[in-house]
Amino acid sequence: MEMSKEEFLGQFGGDYGYPGAPKGVDEMRATEFKRLEGMAYLDHAGATLYSEVQMADVLNDLTSNVYGNPHSQSDSSMATSDLVTAARHQVLKYFNASPREYKCIFTSGATAALKLVGECFPWSRESCYMYTMENHNSVLGIREYALSKGATVLAVDVEEVADLAKNHGSDSLYKISRRSNQRRGKDVLSHNCQNGSLSDILGQKFSLSLVKLIKEGKIPLQQQIIALFSLDSSVFSMLIKYIKYRGKWMVLIDAAKGCATEPPNLTVYPADFVVCSFYKIFGYPTGLGALIVKNEAANLLNKTYFSGGTIAASIADIDFVQKRKNIEQVLEDGTISFLNIASLRHGFKIIEMLTTSAIERHTASLATYVRNKMLDLKHSNEINVCTIYGQQSSKVEGLKMGPTITFNLKREDGSWFGYREVEKLASLFGIHLRTGCFCNPGACAKYLGLSHSDLVSNFEAGHVCWDDNDIINGKPTGAVRISFGYMSTYEDAEKFLKFLQSSFVSLPVQFNGYMLNLNSLNLIDNSSQKAVSDIHLKSIIIYPVKSCQGFGAKSWPLTTGGLMYDREWLLQGSGGEILTQKKVPELGSIRTLIDLELGKLFIESPTRRDKLQVSLLESLADLREEIDVFGQRMVINDRFLQDALGKGDCKQKLPVDAMRFRPNLVISGSSPYSEDNWKKLCIGEACFTSMGGCNRCQMINLHQDSGQVLKSKEPLATLASYRRKKGKILFGILLNYEDIMEGENEIVAERWLQVGQQVHPSIE
């Protein structure tokens, strides 16, 4: 599968790596992105990365100059005003927008710019807001302003059906199909749904010539319409309004993602509004975006609120206010983020050195290479591993693929890998990607085949954004997305492809001279499931405080729910939140001990000399609800630690003991994995029922040593390579203690576990 770098350069060398620039991508990564060593950052659509040289320039600028509040006339304030003016011109230049025709309004981001247009636009009952299914929530949110003013809202699908380069002046280049018609009355929001044909354009880029066609009135839509079109589901969105009394269309392009590799040329495609966020272009600063607005379009925006810096004069005790004439000052409330604005020139310096056209070719070469390799991935039974959304060949010659790939993965039986499983495993390999619906519910539903009833039932089942419910009723609820940036490399692409190959592709393997499928290997020797005399209880570990260290005991009593006092206490933060090692890994260095004779719990921290003492007689009633969650006990087989972790081609072995897995009971004397098939087991007179395998997470990668928490990717990465089952990485089993009642009053019989007791497992 792997293509050598020489072969890759032979195919893509004309576009990859900035061959004509002063500094190539390999040199740039080595000198300006040293922090990326060992990782592959593939979420540039979410946020690209700042360079170390860029940040050094920003620091030098801020430590060498004095910038005052621009709402003043001092020398430092005037210097700031001049810098802000220069920054506005630099932003306009980036979009090839003439300062005579366009203005740059700084906002806190692209979302704030969209909101500004939505709240200032002159909506009425004659307006109709139309948007494509592929739009971001920040764009969909504009419909709230439209609906509140009585406007109609439409959702549509747009398909390019002809090549714009060969059909100048044609009125039928796009097929537009309506999805739904929404209108909000006094109390009701009604929906008129119509079925429309779907187009599959995710990750593809349509020509911005659509802007010209709209402005020239050559798109045959209804009159009195506001429409939102997605030119690239990961790049551009367009908002169009036919204003009856002015007889023209207004066009808004959401260029938040697209402007990093291919900003719209406003001289060629004269949109009325463009929004962007600068961290998407060069990583820093965050919290700063812009609204690029055409002069005549700016006159339509009616802003109600006024603030410092937006008015020429006001009187406090009567209704008198005069707004400024300058549209930038009218729309920019309060003091702008002038220090962040000062840093823009240092980011643009990188873009100007490389050029946007070279960045676009560089990122497209990587995306094309990875996309083609992903489509070639097959399981041993020839089932495709990757389903890439928007990967169908286009009818249109001018259609280009962007730097983003959105996909899901299938098992060899046709079922889906959950996107959260992919994300968790990727983190073990040092790969940063994004999963979910990317704040784009329309595209998610459209390409995943989720109906309205599916979406509602998923929500009622508890699924919300950013949770772990990645598969519901056999269907993905989201997808996986990777995206490339200007500093992405061939090595990043190869790291990702090797991750897919090693983690998700089922291949036939040679075993004792026979070809077997890796996933069909039975790792359990059924002959070892019989109870034998040498299976015994090796260790008992109690964890009184969840996420803190446990302590070993030679013997320990059982009570309702399991081991007495195990996970009875939780640590609570100052804000009321429950603390765990996932949030505070250092909890693993806190030592605990229970003295049953004294009736006390001792808690000791390596950072304090004194020990905390807690009486075991104190009421725990208020904690009982939380305690029940952790009522199951966990048992592991210590033979695994000796035998199984020797697998793989690791350069050096990592010593792993049982305590890394935080078990309650460690069993010795049986073969590795034998506990997987145990249904019940008895230890002495105490009997337990298996609740199934214990799902593992990155917490087992935390290594507590001398109070210091050292992180690594092992042993979870090794476990993940062959102990995965339906998205779970299993090791050890969970046990439920079977209480036994005695006497006329049915009192729970007192049972004790003792190290060395015989263990009698049963697989029936």
As a whole number of angstroms, the distance between CA 400 and CA 163 comes to 12
Decide: residue 529, CB within 10 A, 0-12 exposed, 13-18 middle, 19+ buried: buried
Residues in the chain: 764
In Å, what is the CA distance from 244 to each residue of 224, 505, 715? 6, 57, 66
Closest CA to 494 of 26, 4, 12: 4
As a whole number of angstroms, the distance between CA 164 and CA 185 comes to 40
Closest CA to 249 of 235, 234, 270, 274: 270
Query: CB atoms < 10 A from the CB of 573, how many?
Result: 10
As a whole number of angstroms, the distance between CA 108 and CA 278 comes to 10
Residue tagged 């260290």 (tokens):
549
Helix, coil or strand: residue 734 = strand
Distance of CA 13 to the CA centre of its chain: 31
As a whole number of angstroms, the distance between CA 188 and CA 637 comes to 61
As a whole number of angstroms, the distance between CA 135 and CA 441 comes to 8
Compute, in degrees rounded to 10, the torsion defined by CA atoms 326, 327, 329, 330: 120
Please give the backbone phi and psi of residue 211, each rounded to the nearest 5 degrees, phi first. Answer: -60, -45
DSSP secondary structure, 43-87, as one string: BTTT-----HHHHHHHHHHHHH-----SSS-SHHHHHHHHHHHHH
As a whole number of angstroms, the distance between CA 314 and CA 99 comes to 30
439 carries an active-site annotation: yes
Task: Dig out the tokens for 343 from the structure.
Answer: 């840093």
Residue tagged 């808690």 (tokens):
603
DSSP secondary structure, 147-159, as one string: HHTT-EEEEEEEE
Residue type, 496: F
Contact 240, 130 (CB under 8 A): yes
CB burial of 146-172 (b: ≥16 within 10 Å; e: otherwise) equals bbebebbbbbbbbbbebbbeeeeeeee
Contact 182, 153 (CB under 8 A): yes
Interhelix angle 490-504/419-428, rounded to 10 degrees, is 120
DSSP secondary structure, 527-580, as one string: GGGS--TT-EEEEEEE-SBTTS--EE-SEEEEETTEETTTT-B-EE-TTSPEE-
DSSP secondary structure, 344-402, as one string: HHHHHHHHHHH-HHHHHHHHHHHHHHHHHHHHH-B-TTS-BSEEETT-SPPS-TT-EE-
As a whole number of angstroms, the distance between CA 642 and CA 658 comes to 10
Percentages helix, strand, coil for the chain, rounded to the nearest 5? 30, 25, 45
Closest CA to 88 of 290, 284, 337: 290
Structure letter (DSSP) for residue 417: P
As a whole number of angstroms, the distance between CA 260 and CA 244 comes to 35
Task: Dig out the tokens for 18 from the structure.
Answer: 């900035």
Residues near 339 by Cβ (< 8 Å), separated by ≥ 6? Answer: 62, 67
Pairing of strands 226-230, 400-401: unpaired
Single out the catalytic residue among 128, 276, 439, 444. 439
Active site residues: 439
